Copies of this chain bind each other. A is one copy, B any other.
Amino acid sequence: MTSVNLQVNVGGLLMKNPVTVASGTFGYGAEYADYFDVSQLGAVTVKSLSLEPRAGNPPPRIVETPAGMLNAIGLQNVGLDTYLKEKLPYLREQKCVIIANIYGNGPDEYAVLARRLEDAGGADAIEMNLSCPNVHDPQNACGGGLVAQHPDQVARYTEAVKQATRLPVFVKLSPNVTDIVAPARAAEEAGADAVALINTLIGMAIDPETQRPLLSNIVGGLSGPAIRPVAVKMVWDAARALRIPVLGMGGIACTEDAIQFLLAGARAVAVGCASFRRPDAAINIVRGMEAYCRKHKIDDINTLVGAVKV
């Protein structure tokens, strides 16, 4: 076997390997350039971008939990303009493939974000964050909850973005649903090119001494190895039900974790808060995948996708 093909096509986005990073855990790429050449990743997914800069929630925003963490950042980000002016040039210079994760109030803002990103060459794919537990979208027309918890809303938001851009559109879903297939299918039917899952699980922690929540936002999103089994299961469910690809994430820390997601049906994976512990986690997984394929005599990583033997 001379070489292993690691290239994957995620709903029209060509990635030279199936590894990206999870939005909000890798900044805008440059922050981790000290540790490795970030252009070697299949793609860099940037922190959720909103039209205007967002200040996020008051601190404390972080709590450590067993094998994971809760965050209640609240989507603090530089906003679209600053992204295009100050963050994008570095990523383009490095020749990174860019997945721009976006967050808006209502479908129109999502659409504007997508269109302006496309126009400015600010993204190679759009990931719609419909599932952040730390913010509230007043235009989610279904009496509270996350957009991703309401299939009809998922469809509405997805359609708006699909009409606004020709870039591949990924819809990022929440695990806090009775059946992940419902919103996933709604996204597919509305034209999404892929679904991304999972976002964090809603959680809460209380300090028994002060008797107050440990996050100023009271609740936050749970991530990390703790949630990996939940994520693998949801990827498996979604991948079997859909024709469009799944971008899998949730607790991936090493190659073996990433392989589980591919076997469960993910076309590509994103490494999230594991980077906080090991900034080179994602690139090590790229290397590990190649080694895994050689060991198992696999010449194309795509053959692993959904190949779990049940």
Which of these, B145, B229, B259, contacts A222 with CB under 8 Å? B229
Q: Are A260 and B66 in contact (CB under 8 A)?
A: no
Give a binary string over A171-199; 1 marks a CB under 8 Å from any B CB, 0 the rest. 00000111100000000000000000000
Complex Cα spacing A58 to B224, Å? 30
Q: Is the interface of A mostly helix, strand, loop or mixed?
A: mixed
Within 8 Å of chain B (Cβ to Cβ): is A201?
A: yes
Q: Do B66 and A226 touch (CB < 8 A)?
A: yes
Q: Are A212 and B310 in contact (CB under 8 A)?
A: yes
The copy count of this chain in the complex is 2
Binary interface encoding of chain A residues 1-36 relative to chain B, with 1 for a CB under 8 A from any of its CBs, else 0: 000000000000000000000000000000000000
* B203 engages A232 (CB within 8 Å): yes
* Contact-residue bracket for chain A: 35 or more
A165 beta carbon closer than 8 Å to chain B: no
Partner-B contacts on A (CB < 8 A)? 65-68, 70, 145, 149, 176-179, 201-206, 208, 210-213, 218-220, 222, 224-230, 232-233, 236, 251, 255-256, 259-260, 263-264, 292, 307-310
